[in-house]
Amino acid sequence: MSKKPLILGIESSCDETAASIITENEQGNPLVLSNIVSSQVEVHKEFGGVVPELAARSHVEKIDWIVQKAIDKSGKNIEEIDAVASTAGPGLIVCLSVGLSFGKAFAASLNKPFIAVNHLEGHALSPGLENKIEFPYLLLLISGGHTQYLIVRNVNNYEQLGTTIDDALGEAFDKTAKMLDLGYPGGPKIEAIAKQGDNDAFNFPRPMTNKKNLDFSFSGLKTAVFYEYKKLNNVSHVQKSNIAASFQAAVADTLLHKTKNALKQTGLNELVIGGGVASNKYIRDRLISELKDYKIFFPPIERCTDNGAMIAYAGSLYLKGSKEGLNFNIKPRWPLSELANG
Ligand code: KG4
Ligand code: ZN
């Protein structure tokens, strides 16, 4: 039996320092041997958002032991690693440079190939770690920096159908949570408090649902929350829960409406949903229960937010198509539709 490839994936584009080792099982399906994520929530929470210089410093402090931990947990030796993949963009330049430089140096020291991975492609492909998904499929990417519909035609082949014209969805969750004084990062805080709230307490807008196009806009929804919040005096926990629940319901309705349009317009019947906001259980459940005629794939909850396994997996697919290079430079802006065949 030939040796199964062992890929190290490194992620440092924003506020998670992450590394993972993946391989293949006997049947040739991907297998995650380790997936270590160190979040910087504690570093940034007093500022209510990511501070790039602090994030970069924290990546520098942690990256070697995170990678070491991923290797230890995988039960493999450094010498067995066949290739190294790091996120090269999009993201914060000072953060990207940490994982990219580390990955390149690591690969060079082992004399093994290095693969520069697009972070969004990591999210786009990662449900393939546990599912066989046929190309082409529709991707709804909902993260802290991006909100997009894309047709994933193949690895390295994307067509963007729509995007947000203002805030990304994760950003809207974070800003709304900040407004309600719930802390950082906002998405999980809103989801938690919304469990005790009434979805219909406030009738927030479902933005852009009167338009056929596949673009989003979330800043108006955020502003609507702001005005309702300002009207209240001595806001109680119940009122905050109601605002959070009504906000979350407006988001889910909007995503559902737009996604139905996207599926109809493209004629596709497979849908992949990825990015940090896809870890929201309420949104997952609404999409699954109301899009029953389609095959829907989500990554496991803990792998919706940034992680090394998705980077290792995208890297492993490129390794088969051999796109690699130590001279690849950081791309802080790198839309998926810019990839070679897009
Ligand atoms: O994909 P990700 O980890 O980083 C980017 O590539 O942006 O996404 C982070 C975003 C943050 O805005 C965070 O608030 C949001 O995902 N998020 C959530 C939840 N968990 C994380 N939003 C809603 N509900 C959640 N449970
Ligand atoms: Zn991400």
Name the residue at shortest CA distance from atom 22 of ligand 1.
187
Q: Which atom of ligand 1 is nearest to the CA of 120?
A: 6
Residue 31 and residue 316: Cα distance in Å, rounded?
A: 11
Residue nearest to atom 3 of ligand 1 (CA): 305
Expressed in angstroms and rounded, the spacing between residue 298 Cα and the centre of ligand 2 is: 14
Q: Which residues contact 325 (CB under 8 A, 6 or more apart)?
A: 114, 116
Residue 101 pLDDT > 80: yes
Of residues 135, 172, 123, 85, the one with CA closest to residue 273: 123
Average pLDDT over residues 179-200: 95
Band (342; pLDDT cuts 50, 70, 90): very low
pLDDT value at residue 51: 86
Ligand 1 centroid – CA 125 distance (Å) = 17
For ligand 1, residues with CB inside 6 Å are 14, 143-145, 170-171, 173-174, 185-188, 191, 275-277, 279-280, 305-306
- Residues whose CB is less than 8 angstroms from the CB of residue 92 and which lie 6 or more positions away in sequence, other chains included: 13, 14, 50, 52, 55, 56, 332
Nearest one of 10, 8, 30 to 21, comparing CA atoms: 8
Q: How far away, in angstroms, is 146 Cα from ligand 2 center?
A: 8
Q: 278 CA to middle of ligand 1, Å?
A: 8
193-250 pLDDT, tens per residue? 999 999 999 999 999 999 999 999 999 999 999 999 999 988 999 999 999 999 999 9
Q: How does pLDDT run across 32-72, given as a tens digit for each residue?
A: 999 999 988 888 888 878 888 999 999 999 999 999 999 99
Residue nearest to atom 16 of ligand 1 (CA): 276
261 C-alpha to ligand 1 centroid (Å): 24
Q: How far is the CA of 284 from the centre of ligand 1 (A)?
A: 13
Residue 341: per-residue pLDDT: 47
**For 118-173, what is each residue's pLDDT tens digit?**
999 999 999 999 999 999 999 999 999 999 999 999 999 999 999 999 999 999 99
pLDDT at 102 over 90: yes
Choose which residue among 87, 118, 143, 298 to substitute to test ligand 1 binding: the one with the highest number of ligand atoms within 8 A of its C-beta.
143
CA 298, 4, 114, 12 dihedral sign is: positive
Rounded CA separation 216/327 (Å): 36
Largest Cα–Cα separation, the chain = 70
Q: What is the pLDDT of residue 208?
A: 93
Q: What is the model's pLDDT at position 1?
A: 52
Is residue 150 within 8 A of residue 158, CB to CB? The reply is yes
In this structure, the residue with its CA closest to atom 5 of ligand 1 is: 144
The CA 220 to ligand 2 mean position distance, Å, reads: 24
Percent share of the chain, pLDDT over 70: 97
Q: Which atom, in ligand 1's list, is nearest to the CA of 145?
A: 7
Residue of 191, 305, 310 with the most ligand 1 atoms within 8 Å of its CB, for mutation: 305
> What is the pLDDT of the chain when averaged over all its residues?
94
Q: Spell out the residues 6+ positions from residue 146 whose beta carbon is closer than 8 angstroms to its own.
A: 120, 163, 164, 168, 275
Nearest ligand, measured from the Cα of 275: 1
* For ligand 1, atom 23: residue with the closest CA: 187
Atom of ligand 1 nearest to the CA of 146: 7
